[in-house]
Each structure stands twice: as structure tokens, then as C-alpha cells.
Structure 1
Amino acid sequence: MQKTALVPYARLPRTHHDRHVLTSTVDVFGAAHWLLAERAPRPDGDLPPFDALVVSVHPDGNVELTELCAVRARWPYLDRLPDGRFVVAASRTRRHDGADQVQVFDTLGREASSFSVGDAIEHLLVDEAGHIWVGHFDENPAGIRRWSATGKVAWTSYGADIPGLYDCYALNVSGTTAWACTYMDFPLTEIRPDRPDRPVTVRANRVRGAKAVAVHGDRVAFYGGYAEERDLLTRGELTETTVEPTDTGLLTLPTGAAPGRRRVVARGSRIHVQAEPFTEWGVFDLDG
């Protein structure tokens, strides 16, 4: 089977390798961010509020450091707003302590606001307009929603006629558009909330279980699948109503090895993959 190697994209500076990587992402403008703590959370108990360091590596190679005060999330998601503020969210709600799930930190690392978006976060991605897109897994029927940075719902998949939306497997946010693949029918859904005539376009899709999707013009690529297909890269073409697969192969690390445990972030034509120990990002670019 044909293999496609990821291209090295961004690397956590070695001076910060002594800290624990809580999470990492690539934002809508292409900057890579790592959220670091002094230690890993214990599986048998909650971390108290703790201070954390965000290390940002910009596309031009410049490195930026931001100290965040009193982070509450044990298993966090991270992204950056266009104005430089950071969003940190807990994947699960903690009803027993009443704490808001999402924290927004100002550019000095202080909590500026907080709110909740609902339990069972699978994806959290900020778009170019500063909206926060959240896709949920199957323990929350909310599906996909777009939130303002102040915690107001700006769009919801409820009533959007997305078939079989029980779990948001893949979510790509680029510009102000989102693309999603959802369990159990796995249609490729294009979401443009600011287009009043047709905010949602659903295309039938035969690829099952992909964890990421990249789109460029009328071309599409899916990464992942069930069981032995977890490293599968499937390319296809878009029609008005369907996705037509054209070829399949394997996506590997730059070394040619399988990624193993990894994080995946999709932005437009790009699928970013980060393998354990989560200090480096590689990229596959459908426009490359």
C-alpha cells in the first residue's frame, strides 16, 4: 500500500521538555501551541487549580511564552482567539464543584471570563472570527455548536438535518467554515452559518471512522478509521451530493513509522498529526 509521510511542521523547544504536555494544538492561523504543567494529573483525583505555561511556535519560527494562572481543567483542550487570548476547556463537566468548564485567559494569562458548553467535548477549535466550535461525543446529544467567546450559542446542529449525528468523529475549522464527519452515517457535512441561503451542505460518504478530514476545492482527504485502518489516508473528490473516493494509502511519520498514540488537528487543506511524546507536529497538506 502506498505510504505518504508527514512533513515536519513545528517542534516544542527542547528547553521545555522537562514539563508535562497536557495538550497541544495548531490554531486557525497556523501557530502551534503546547499547554505545559509541572506534572501530569493523577488518574485517581483532580488537580487543584494550577499555573501552566503555553509555548507558542509561530509559522515564522518565533517562540512566544504565556503563563496562565489557576487553570482548572484536568484533561484540557486548548486554542487561541484571534486577539491573542487563550481558551482552555475541560473535556468533561464537573457538576459537583459548580466550576465553569471553559476559561478564557487574557494576554497576560489571567482568567477574563468563564462559561460552560456542555459535557463530553470531542473537538474544540476557534475560527478566524473568534467563534469557538465544539463537537461532542456520544454522551452529549448536542452534536456540534458554535459559541461566541463570551459563551453565547451562535449556531447549533439541532434541526440542521445532519443524518445520524450521535458522535462528532472529525471536525475541521478553517476561516469561518467547518467540515464534520459524524457517527453513525459519516456524511461529510459542510457548515457555513453565515450563508443564509444554505448554511449546511450534506454529502453522502462511504469512508467510515475517520478522525480527521481535510478539504481543498473539490478534493478531500480522510485520515483514520476503525481497527487496522487507523493510519489509513483516503483521498476523494466532492460532487454536489457525494464524496467519491479515488485512492487509499497509509499516512506515516516523517521517518516512515506508524504514528501510534497521536493527536490530530485538521485545518482547511491540512491534517496535523502529533505522536507521543507530543513534542512535534507533522503535517499532510492536500494542497501540497
Structure 2
Amino acid sequence: MQKTALVPYADLPRIHHERHVLTSSVDVFGVAHWLLADRAPQPGLDVLPFDALVVSVHPGGYVELTELSALRARWPHLDRLPDGGFVVAASRARRYEDGDQVQVFDALGRETLSFSVGDAIEHLLTDEAGRIWVGHFDENPVGIRCWSSMGHICWTSDGAGIPGLFDCYALNVSGTTAWACPYTDFPLVEIRLKRPARPVRVWANHVRGAQAVAVHGGRVAFYGGYGEEQDRLAHGELTETSVEPTDVGLLTLPDGTLPGGRRVVGRGSRIYVQAEPFTAWNVLDLSR
């Protein structure tokens, strides 16, 4: 089976390796971020809130540090806003009934706002307009929603005509456009809020279980799958109504090994992959 190797993208500076990586992401502008704590969370023993450090590595290697004060999410999602601030969200909302599931921080690391977006966050990605896209997993099957950074709903998948939307397996946000591949039918979905008369387009798709998707022009790549297909890389081409498969292979780390446990982020033509111990991001770029 054909193998495609990821390309090294960004590394957490070694000086920070002794800290625990709570989470990590790559923002809409291609900057990699690590949210670090002094030690790993210990359910039932930790005292919340706590302080954390964001290490940001820009394309070209410039490193930026931001201290965030009084985080309340033990198992957080992280992304950066276009104004230099950050969004930190707890994936589970049950313990945040007073509306502080999502914390918004300014560029100096000070909390400016908190609100809730609902339980069971699978993906949280910001776009170039500062909107926050949230994909939920099946313990809260509300699908996909888009929020302003002030906590107001901008768009919801309710009534959007997306077939079988029960769990947002894959979400890709690039510019101001979102792409998704949701369970149970796994269609490829494009959401463009700048096209209000027809914000959603749907293509039928036969690739099941992908955790990440990348799109470039009329080409699509799906990464991941069930069981033995967890490292599958499936390519396809867009027709008017469907994704037509072209080839299937494996996606590996730069050294040719399989990633195993990993994080993934989809951004336009790119799929970023971070394998344990979560100190390096690698990339597949369909535009190359």
C-alpha cells in the first residue's frame, strides 16, 4: 500500500518539554500553539482554577509566550483569535452550569469573557473573522455551531439539510469557511456564511470514519478510519454531487512510522498531525 509521509512543521522548544501538554493546536494563520501546565491533570485532586502558559511557534520559528490566568478547564480545547487573544474551552459542560465553559482571553492573557456552547465538544476552531466553530460528539448531538467571540450564535446546523449529522467526526476551518465530515452518513459538507442564500453544500461520500479532512480546489483527502484503517489516507475528487474516490494509502510520520495516538487539525488544504508526546506538529498539504 502506498505510503505518504508527513512533513515536519513546528516543534515545541525543548526548554518547555518538562511541562505537561494540556492541549495543542494550529490556528487559521498557521501558528502552532501549546497549552502547558506544571503537571498533568489528576481528576478529583486538582484545585481549579489554575494558571497555564501558551507557547506559540510562528512559521519561520519565532516563539511567543503568553501566560493565561485562572483557567477552569481540566481537559481543554485551545485556539487563537485574530486579535492575539485566546479561546479555552472545556469539552464537557456539566460542571460549568454558571456559563463559564468557554473562556476568552485578551492578548495579555487576561480573561475578558466567559460563556457556554454546550456539552461534548469534539472540535473547536476559530476563523479569520474571529468566529468560533464548534463540532460536537454524540453525547450532545447538536451537530455543528458557530459562535461569535462574544458568545452569540452566528450559525447552527439545525435545519441545514446535512444528512445523518449525529457526531462531528471531522471539522476543517480555513479563512471564513468550514468543512465537515459528520457521522452517520459521512457526507462532505461545506459551510460558507458569506453565501447566506445557500451557506451549505453537501457531497455524498463513501469514506467512513475519517477524523480529518483537507480540501484544495476539486481535490479532497480524508485521514483516519475505523480499526485497522486508523492511519488511512483516502483521496477523492469533487463532482457536482459526490466525492469520487481516486486512491487509498497510509499516512505516516516523517520517519515512516505510523502515528498511533495523535491529535489532528484540518485547515483548508492542510491536515496537521501531532503524535505522542505531543511536542511536534507535522503536516500534509494537498496544495503541494
Tell me the TM-score normalized by structure 1.
0.98
Offset, 1:272: 0.1
Residue matched to 2:254? 254
- Secondary structure of the equivalent of 1:166? strand
Q: In the alignment, what sits opposite 2:195?
A: 195
- Check conservation: 1:7, 1:284, Cα contact below 8 A: yes
Alpha-carbon contact 1:177-1:191 (below 8 Å) kept = yes
Give the C-alpha shift of residue 108 in structure 1: 1.0
Specify the code of the residue in structure 2 equivalent to 1:194.
K
1:79/1:125 contact within 8 Å kept: yes
Trace 1:17-28 onto structure 2 (pairs within 5 A).
17-28=17-28
Instruction: Give the Cα–Cα distance (whole angstroms) in 1 for the partners of residues 277 and 132 of structure 2.
Output: 27
Give, in angstroms, the shift of residue 198 of structure 1: 1.5
Structure 1: distance between partners of 2:219 and 2:97: 46
- What's the CA shift string for 1:106-164, capped at 9, x where partnerless? 11111010100000000000000000000000011221001000000000000001011
Partner residue in 1 for 2:159:
159
Q: Distance in 2 between matches of 1:90 and 1:191?
A: 24
Match of 1:240 in 2: 240
Structure 2 residue identity aligned to 1:80: R
Equivalent position of 1:268 in the other structure: 268
SS at match of 1:60: coil
1:236-286 C-alpha deviation (Å, 9 max, x unpaired): 100111000100000000010010100000000000000000000000001
Return 5+ residue gaps in structure 1 as ranges: none
**Structure 2: runs of 5+ lacking an equivalent:** none
Q: Classify 1:238/1:152 alpha carbon distance in 2 versus 1 (closer, same or farther; 3 Å).
A: same
2:15 is paired with a residue whose SS is helix
Q: What is the match of residue 179 of structure 1?
A: 179
CA distance, structure 1, for counterparts of residue 44 and residue 227 of structure 2: 29
CA distance in 2, matches of 1:270, 1:46: 36
Deviation, 1:3, is 0.4
* Matched residue, 2:115: 115
CA-CA distance at 1:167 after TM superposition = 0.1
> How many angstroms does 1:97 deviate by?
6.0
In the alignment, residue 258 of structure 2 is paired with which amino acid? Answer: A
The CA deviation string for residues 25-70 of structure 1, in whole angstroms up to 9 with x for no partner, is 0000000000000011113455411000000000121000000000
Deviation, 1:96, is 6.6
Q: Distance between the aligned counterparts of 1:203 and 1:188, measured in 2?
A: 5
For the residues of structure 2 that align with 1:167 and 1:285, how far apart are their CA atoms? 26
- The one-letter amino acid of 2:176's match is T
Task: Specify the SS of the correspondent of 1:87.
Answer: strand
**C-alpha distance in structure 2 between counterparts of 1:2 and 1:96, whole Å:** 46
Amino acid at match of 2:124: L
Is the partner of 1:82 in helix, strand or coil?
coil
**Contact 1:23/1:76 (8 A) holds in 2:** yes
